[in-house]
Amino acid sequence: MKEFLMPSLGADMEDGTLVEWRKKPGDPVSRGDIIAEVDTQKGLIEIEVFEEGTIGEFLIKEGEKVPVGTPMALIKTEKAETEVEKEKQPEEKEKEPEPEVQKSSEEEPALQPTEEHIQKETPLQQPATKRIKATPLAKRIAEENKIDLSLITGTGENGAITKDDVNRAMMEKAAVKPAEKPSEELIREKTPEKAVESGEAVRLAVAAAMSKSNREIPHYYLEKKIDMSTALLWLKEVNKERAVRDRLLPAALLIKAVASALDEVPSLNATWENGLRLKNEINIGFVVSLRSGGVMVPAISNADLKSIPEIMEALNDLIPRARTMKLRSSEIGSSTITLTSLGEGGADAVFGVIYPPQVAVIGFGGITEQPWPEKGMLGLRPVITATLAGDHRANDGLTGSRFLTSLNKHLQNPEAL
């Protein structure tokens, strides 16, 4: 039996409410099947299962709200009939090993592809079965205050989590809460499962993540104006061959160009949590604004391996679902970098706030006609302003600059993308 746990869909998610089981005990399940629908701050999320097996038993009932990491169901798997193993966190396990990973990684094939290359000598991602080292006092305080120790880095003896570490985590948690709601209990009372407008919950989630980012991450900003004439011309040519509903939008091209540039400057495709961890997969979080306010950031996974039409397909699938808050767990928690594009008619440039623990956010303003000097002549060109906000702990302006240069190069050669 394996325990199926309430997944974490980001550092800002604390709990989720089971809205509906999509399976029943005895049903066979395989990897990728939707097992349940869970209401979170990020809306109704379809939760996928990552095991092959049969549903054994449900451990929580519909309507129940449980913290991240709580066992929700038992799944009978063939290889582990007797032992109860903690499932790994979804972000560690949801991806099938894929060829590009094998080549880039020396690790055993058993490891999940989203395992990072780690520059420091920190252990690889801790398997969920690994014991969390915390002092007895720290454990007691964490339990009393419902703090998830797995999210805390210890500073004590041999890296043990101490009272101070837990207190810090509690203060951080408290800091992102509005002042008039000092205690967790109060928050819970004020956010009964269904009563809160989903927009407000999203607003709170965005507030928490962005406050943390602004508090902890020293941002630096770069911008580069990019001549889009070649790219737009190429798009026009390609779209001539395609049916209207299959037409490619500049956004798909931009995402592909960003992915290719990241391939050349991989240190921006990373996370920073007590040290830099490069990510093997390039999963580009694409910011979708909600009409009710707030944003959702579904990931376009393995964007570097997808063709531009495939990226367009992914966008066509993801954006409407993001707007109606019908995303899946794997689409929410897995992005390795964020891209925000304002689209036509908006502001000329956007300087983003990094979504922690990522280390960069790429921004695109609208494409506007601008005077463009070239070879001693001045012409008019469609121009887009690309920006990059980088985490200065993790990388430097030179890295960011190399990325924007590479991005420009790719957008001048769209046919090669």
Partner 1 sequence: MSQSRKITYREALKEAIREELLNDERVFLMGEDVGRYGGAFAVSKGLLQEFGEERIMDVPLSESGFVGAGIGAAIAGMKPIVEVMTVNFGLLPMDQLVNTAATMLHMSGGQINVPVVVRMSCGIGKQLAAQHSHSWEPFYAHVPGLIVLSVGTHEDARWLLHTALQSPDPVVIFEYTSMLNMEGELSEDPAEVDITKAKVRREGRDISIITYGAAVYKCLEAAEDLAAQGIEAEVVDLRVLRPLDDATFIASVTKTHRALIVEDAWRSVSVSSEVSARINEKAFYELDASVQRICGAEVPIPYPLHLEDASVPQKKDIVEAVIKMIRP
Note the residues at the interface with partner 1 (CB under 8 A).
Answer: 135-140, 155-158, 160, 162-164
Residue 160 or 222: the one with the smaller Cβ distance to partner 1 is 160
Residue 133 or 219: the one with the smaller Cβ distance to partner 1 is 133
Q: Angle, to 10 degrees, between the axis of helix 308-323 and the axis of helix 250-264?
A: 110
Residue 129 or 158: the one with the smaller Cβ distance to partner 1 is 158
DSSP string, 82-130: S--EEPPPHHHHSSPP-HHHHHH--S-TTS-TTPPEESSS--SSPPTTS
What is the DSSP-derived secondary structure letter of residue 116? P
Q: CA 300 to CA 255: how far, in whole Å?
A: 9
Quickly count: other Cβ atoms within 10 Å of residue 333's Cβ. Answer: 22
Residue 164 or 197: the one with the smaller Cβ distance to partner 1 is 164
Q: What token pair was written down for 88?
A: 């790994």
In this structure, are residues 70 and 47 in contact, taking their beta carbons and an 8 Å threshold?
no
Which helix (H) or strand (E) covers residue 395, if one does? Answer: none
Closest contact distance (angstroms) between CB of 274 and partner 1 is 15
Tokens 């300087």 belong to residue = 351
In this structure, are residues 312 and 303 in contact, taking their beta carbons and an 8 Å threshold?
no
Which helix (H) or strand (E) covers residue 361, if one does? Answer: strand 360-364
Residue 157 or 415: the one with the smaller Cβ distance to partner 1 is 157
Residue 98 or 164: the one with the smaller Cβ distance to partner 1 is 164
| Residue spans of beta strands (DSSP E) within 228-353 | 270-272, 276-278, 284-286, 288-289, 295-296, 299-300, 326-328, 337-341
Q: What token pair was written down for 78?
A: 């063939």
Q: What token pair was written down for 127?
A: 């398997």
Q: What token pair was written down for 288?
A: 């979708």
Closest contact distance (angstroms) between CB of 158 and partner 1 is 8
In this structure, are residues 312 and 252 in contact, taking their beta carbons and an 8 Å threshold?
yes
Residue 44 or 132: the one with the smaller Cβ distance to partner 1 is 132
Closest contact distance (angstroms) between CB of 156 and partner 1 is 6
Closest contact distance (angstroms) between CB of 128 and partner 1 is 24
Q: CA 335 to CA 355: how far, in whole Å?
A: 10
Closest contact distance (angstroms) between CB of 153 and partner 1 is 13
Q: CA 217 to CA 359: how far, in whole Å?
A: 9
Which residues sit opposite 34 in a β-bridge?
A: 48
Closest contact distance (angstroms) between CB of 139 and partner 1 is 8
Closest contact distance (angstroms) between CB of 185 and partner 1 is 22
Closest contact distance (angstroms) between CB of 164 and partner 1 is 8
Residue 112 or 162: the one with the smaller Cβ distance to partner 1 is 162
Residue 160 or 251: the one with the smaller Cβ distance to partner 1 is 160
Q: CA 401 to CA 279: how far, in whole Å?
A: 20
Closest contact distance (angstroms) between CB of 159 and partner 1 is 9
